[in-house]
Structure 1
Amino acid sequence: MNLRSLRIITEDIKSLVSFYEKVTGLSATWHTPDFAEIGTPSCNLAIGSTKTLALFGENIAEPSANKSVIIEFMVDDVDNSYELVKNTTNDILQQPVTMPWGNRSILFRDPDGNLINFFAPVTKEAIERFL
């Protein structure tokens, strides 16, 4: 099994795609006006408008209602990423800090309220987990 994609459903796809392009520095590929993906080597972040839900059935997902998932991106330098993020959003929950498990991390929200963690392993043990 191989996790290849995480999808966010939103009511304002253009705004959310633009936000993720800014904070990741990656360009989205638009497949339709209601579906875009931002690709990384390990997994794609898919963003779909609420219109795509009709393809799955009623009451499948609710935009802007996430209370339990954190979208995590491994970055080269958390402190440099923080400078970009703080110029993109005011919804920063955690400034750069090294966590007890060895990752340096920042935590913030996207415009729909989804939690995002930018992290980089910094201790020897943490780095070895990602080799």
Structure 2
Amino acid sequence: MTDPEKYAGVRYLVDDVKAAVDFYTTHLGFTLNLDASPAFADVVRGPLRLLLSGPASSGARATPADAAVPGGNRIHLIVDDLDTEITRLRGAGLAFRSDMVTGPGGRQILLADPAGNLVELFQPA
């Protein structure tokens, strides 16, 4: 088993690897770790390694069509000031997929990457 101190990896299937890399590195503070475009790239933010798999990647080919379940799955990024992040990202031309939601644990809003994968920005209470 992998050392638990290593990155936690999440695979997102994307239509355009370059567009996904640009989205995560430009807008959400990820850094490029590996670029094997157009098939694959991985970007890193803190302990999260996000595997961006294009249509030609082995990760995409290994997913049966009936296994992909759209819904509420998403990566969860903690931010210090949600209002500032919303203003910054809207200023960059990004559209959010939800209104801001406030609950007992904090506030959150959803946006989507260029392939439609969800990203939750969350500010703890």
The two structures have a TM-score, normalised by structure 2, of 0.75
Give the share of equivalent positions with the same residue, in percent.
23
Separation in structure 1 between the aligned mates of residue 81 and residue 107 of structure 2, nearest angstrom: 9
Aligned to 2:107, what secondary structure does the other structure show? strand
Aligned to 2:108: 105
Using the TM superposition, give the Cα deviation of residue 19 of structure 1 relative to its aligned residue in structure 2, in angstroms: 0.9
Aligned partner (choices 31, 40, 46) of residue 35 of structure 1: 40
Give deviations 1:20-40, integer Å, cap 9, x for gaps.
112212322224222222212
Aligned partner (choices 117, 121, 125) of residue 118 of structure 1: 121
Structure 2 residues not aligned, in runs of 5+? none
Separation in structure 1 between the aligned mates of residue 46 and residue 61 of structure 2, nearest angstrom: 27
Aligned to 2:86, what secondary structure does the other structure show? helix
Aligned to 2:23: 19
Q: What is the root-mean-square deviation of aligned Cα atoms in Å?
A: 2.9
Matched to 1:120, the amino acid is Q
| Residues 72, 58 of structure 1: alpha-carbon distance in 2 compared, 3 angstrom cutoff | closer
Alignment of 1:64-103 (within 5 A): 66-97=70-101, 99-103=102-106
Matched to 1:20, the amino acid is Y
Separation in structure 1 between the aligned mates of residue 10 and residue 49 of structure 2, nearest angstrom: 6
Using the TM superposition, give the Cα deviation of residue 105 of structure 1 relative to its aligned residue in structure 2, in angstroms: 1.5
Are 1:53 and 1:61, in contact at CA under 8 Å, matched by a contact in 2? no
The two structures have a TM-score, normalised by structure 1, of 0.72
Give deviations 1:5-48, integer Å, cap 9, x for gaps.
11111121101111111221232222422222221223211111
| Residues 88, 108 of structure 1: alpha-carbon distance in 2 compared, 3 angstrom cutoff | same
| Residues 9, 62 of structure 1: alpha-carbon distance in 2 compared, 3 angstrom cutoff | farther
Aligned to 2:64: 59
| Residues 12, 56 of structure 1: alpha-carbon distance in 2 compared, 3 angstrom cutoff | closer
| Residues 4, 109 of structure 1: alpha-carbon distance in 2 compared, 3 angstrom cutoff | same
